[in-house]
Homo-oligomer: A and B are copies of this chain.
Amino acid sequence: MPTLVMKFGGTSVANLDRIRRAAKRVGVEVAKGYDVIVIVSAMSGKTNELVGWVNETSPLYDAREYDAVVSSGENVTAGLMALTLQEMDVPARSWQGWQVPLITTSAHSQARIEEIPPENINAKFAEGMRVAVIAGFQGISPEGRITTLGRGGSDTTAVAFAAAFGAERCDIYTDVDGVYTTDPRICDKARKLDKIAFEEMLELASLGAKVLQTRSVELAMRYKVKLRVLSSFEEQSDEAGTLVCDEEEIMESNVVAGVAYSRDEAQMTLISVADRPGIAAIIFTALSEGGVNVDMIVQNISEEGRTDMTFSCPTDQVTRAEKALLEIKDAGELNYAELDADTNVAKVSVVGIGMRSQSGVAAKMFKVLSDEGINIKVITTSEIKISVLIDRKYMELAVQALHDAFELDKAA
| A82 located at the interface, meaning its Cβ lies under 8 Å from any Cβ of chain B in the complex | yes
Segment at the interface with B among A51-59, A171-179, A403-411: A51-59
User: Which size bracket describes the interface of A in this complex?
Assistant: 35 or more
From B62, B79, B145, A65 is in contact (CB under 8 Å) with: B79
| A386 located at the interface, meaning its Cβ lies under 8 Å from any Cβ of chain B in the complex | no
Q: Tell me the complex Cα distance, A69–B57, Å.
A: 24
| A68 located at the interface, meaning its Cβ lies under 8 Å from any Cβ of chain B in the complex | yes
| A231 located at the interface, meaning its Cβ lies under 8 Å from any Cβ of chain B in the complex | no
| A392 located at the interface, meaning its Cβ lies under 8 Å from any Cβ of chain B in the complex | no
Chain B residues positioned under 8 Å from A19 (CB to CB): 57
From B87, B99, B146, A144 is in contact (CB under 8 Å) with: B99
Chain B residues positioned under 8 Å from A145 (CB to CB): 99
**CB <8 Å contact, B96 and A83:** no
Say whether chain A's binding surface is mostly helix, strand, loop, or mixed: helix
Q: Tell me the complex Cα distance, A57–B87, Å.
A: 8
Chain B residues positioned under 8 Å from A69 (CB to CB): 75-76, 79-80, 83
| A40 located at the interface, meaning its Cβ lies under 8 Å from any Cβ of chain B in the complex | no
From B16, B65, B144, A56 is in contact (CB under 8 Å) with: B16
| A93 located at the interface, meaning its Cβ lies under 8 Å from any Cβ of chain B in the complex | yes
**CB <8 Å contact, B94 and A80:** no
| A66 located at the interface, meaning its Cβ lies under 8 Å from any Cβ of chain B in the complex | yes
Chain B residues positioned under 8 Å from A53 (CB to CB): 16, 76, 80
CB distance from A151 to the nearest CB of B (A): 18
From B83, B99, B144, A54 is in contact (CB under 8 Å) with: B83
Q: Tell me the complex Cα distance, A75–B68, Å.
A: 7
Who on chain B is nearest to A57 by CB?
Answer: B83
Q: List 9 A-B contacts (CB under 8 A).
A: A50-B76, A62-B86, A65-B79, A65-B83, A65-B86, A69-B83, A72-B73, A72-B75, A96-B146
